[in-house]
Amino acid sequence: MISINNREFSRLTSYIQARLGIHLSDEKRSLVVGRLQNELTQLNVKSFSEYIDILLQDKTGNILNSLINKITTNHTYFMREVEHFTFLKETLLPQYLHSLKEKDLRLWCAACSTGEEPYTLAMLINDFFQNDSLAWDTQVLATDISDRVLELARKAEYSPEQILPLPQHWKSQYLRRNENGNFTFHEKIKNEVIFRKFNLMEPNYPFKRKFHIIFCRNVMIYFDMETKTELLCKLYDSLESGGYLFIGHSESINRESTPFKYIMPAVYRKE
Ligand SMILES: C[S@@+](CC[C@H](N)C(=O)[O-])C[C@H]1O[C@@H](n2cnc3c(N)ncnc32)[C@H](O)[C@@H]1O
């Protein structure tokens, strides 16, 4: 096992924080060392200093991508924090049904991990609009910084245990069993989610149109206060006025530093 000294840990974590926003405190030292051992072996380097030098000089971005795949925490599951989906179904979608004359509902799932969250949104929307769904443009943009989770999300293959939280009628309507005994989504649902790689730390967001709804759940917990405040300003600018931001229930928004209006736990509106 290759160990990391104080200087190396500080160099590596400063770089990770600047590029990914992820703040790694000293308590995460053994986790970082453990998760990166294979990287060092594969690059045939003998110390973290050598690894960091290669990482900083790499022009291809491959070493950073590999680091991202190792260092991010991607835990997620279907129907996570189900109150949000209930609020969407019972309150927001009925409102948008009447107010969006252009019939385009723009949703962004901003740290989508392996796809459970955006596919839950796609099923919920499809279920809500039913026969009218063809008349509506409701594609969900789903982004994450990790190539590894995006690949899994696009594949959309889930084990019987993973799909347990889903309502039975969604399972029978939108999923089918494949030859491995796992479940995949029908094309109808897959086509409703568009996956892209995107780093929330980008200074300027490239989206042509603003969103009505942004889900940015359980990613800010990894950021420090300054990064979080900057991110919230960019999310605010990316929302239509009257648009909604959903964050994780263990996350919070300092109402003094951003103009979001509190609606219910972990739901905010741009006024
Ligand atoms: C714990 S998962 C949350 C998944 C889902 N939103 C949920 O609540 O279940 C956090 C995700 O944020 C992604 N992430 C971390 N830093 C990011 C960044 N700077 N830009 C975009 N995504 C990032 C990770 O790759 C990971 O998949």
Q: What is the pLDDT of residues 176-229, one digit of tens each?
A: 999 999 999 999 999 999 999 999 999 999 999 999 999 999 999 999 999 999
Do 86 and 133 share a structural domain? Answer: yes
pLDDT at 134 over 90: no
Atom of ligand 1 nearest to the CA of 144: 22
Share of the chain above pLDDT 70, in %: 100
Q: Which residue's alpha carbon is at the smallest distance from atom 27 of ligand 1?
A: 113
- Tell whether 58 and 119 lie within a shared domain: no
Q: Which atom of ligand 1 is found nearest the CA of 113?
A: 27
From 71, 90, 110, give the residue that closes a domain: 71
Distance 228 CA to ligand 1 centre (A): 13
Query: Ligand 1 centre and the CA of 236: distance in Å?
Result: 18
In a domain, 163, yes or no: yes
In a domain, 91, yes or no: yes
d(CA 145, CA 130): 32
* Domain presence at residue 116: yes
Domain limit, last residue, from 39, 71, 103: 71
What does the chain come to in residues? Answer: 271
What integer pLDDT is reported at residue 15 of this predicted model? 98
Residue 34 sits in the same domain as residue 106: no
Average of pLDDT values for 1-12?
Answer: 97
pLDDT band for position 231 (cuts 50, 70, 90): very high
Instruction: Write down the pLDDT at residue 133.
Output: 81
Question: How many A from CA of 248 to the centre of ligand 1?
Answer: 11
| Across 37-57, average pLDDT | 97
Encoding tokens for residue 144?
């994450």
Residue to probe by mutation, ligand 1, list 15, 83, 113, 230, most atoms within 8 Å of CB: 113
Position 1 in a domain: no
Q: 121 - beta bridge partners? A: none
Domain that holds residue 178: 82-269
Atom of ligand 1 minimally distant from the CA of 200:
20
Whether this model's pTM surpasses 0.85: yes
| CATH number reported for the structural domain that contains residue 188 in this entry | 3.40.50.150
Distance of CA 83 to the CA centre of its chain: 18
Span 75-121, pLDDT tens digits: 999 999 999 999 999 999 999 999 999 999 999 999 999 999 999 99
Domain count, the chain: 2
Expressed in angstroms and rounded, the spacing between residue 146 Cα and the centre of ligand 1 is 8
- Contacts for 147 with CB less than 8 Å, ≥ 6 apart: 65, 68, 69, 197
- Of 128, 126, 114, 130, nearest to 78 by C-alpha is 114
Neighbours of 91 (CB within 10 A): 14
Q: What letter represents residue 259's amino acid? A: P
Of 71, 104, 120, which closes a domain?
71
One domain for residues 89 and 160: yes
Question: 29: helix, coil or strand?
Answer: helix
Nearest-10 crossing angle of helices 29-42, 62-71: 140
What CATH number is given to the structural domain containing 33? 1.10.155.10
